[in-house]
Structure 1
Amino acid sequence: MADISAAEAPRLQKALRRLLGSPELTVQLPPRKGMSVEIAVAGEVVGTVYRDEDEGEVSYAINMTVLEEDLPPA
């Protein structure tokens, strides 16, 4: 896994906003190297994103957490 650069973050944010239909989604770079890059919606962190580079091809993996308490009633 490689770090997401400051130049990549806005491009990734734009793509995720379009793909997930959320204009309030933000990609937040960590304050220190080695920490997770976070994805937030309306200021609430909902997951992390990781960059992978294999044979010159770059991909991004998202780990999103949804708490049971945030689900609507059954």
Structure 2
Amino acid sequence: MAAMSSSEISRLQVCLRRLLGSPGLTVNAPPRAGLSVELAVNGEVVGTVHRDEDEGEVSYAVHMTVLEEDLPAPK
């Protein structure tokens, strides 16, 4: 897993906001080296973003976690 530059994080945030239609989405740099880049919506961390580089091609994987307690009550 390669580290992301601040420019890369900003560009990724613009892309994800557009793709997911969420202006409240932020991609946050880790507070210190070795930790994951975080994905947040309106300040609440909902997942992580990982960068992969294979044969010169770069891709990003988003891992999002939704807790059952955050789901609406069953009908």
Give the corresponding residue for 1:55.
55
In the alignment, structure 1 segments of 5+ residues that lack a partner are none
Structure 2 length normalisation: TM-score?
Answer: 0.95
Considering only aligned residues, what root-mean-square deviation do their CA atoms show, in Å?
0.6
**Percent identity for Structure 1 against Structure 2:** 73
Partners of 2:2 and 2:32 in 1: CA distance: 14
- Alpha-carbon distance between aligned partners in 1 of 2:58 and 2:45, rounded to the nearest angstrom: 24
Displacement, 1:31?
Answer: 1.4
Equivalent pairs, count: 74
TM-score (norm 1): 0.97
User: Structure 1 residue runs of 4+, over 4 Å off?
Assistant: none
Which structure ranks higher in relative contact order (CA pairs < 8 Å, sequence separation ≥ 6)?
1
- Kindly state the Cα deviation for residue 73 of structure 1 after the two structures are TM-superposed: 1.2
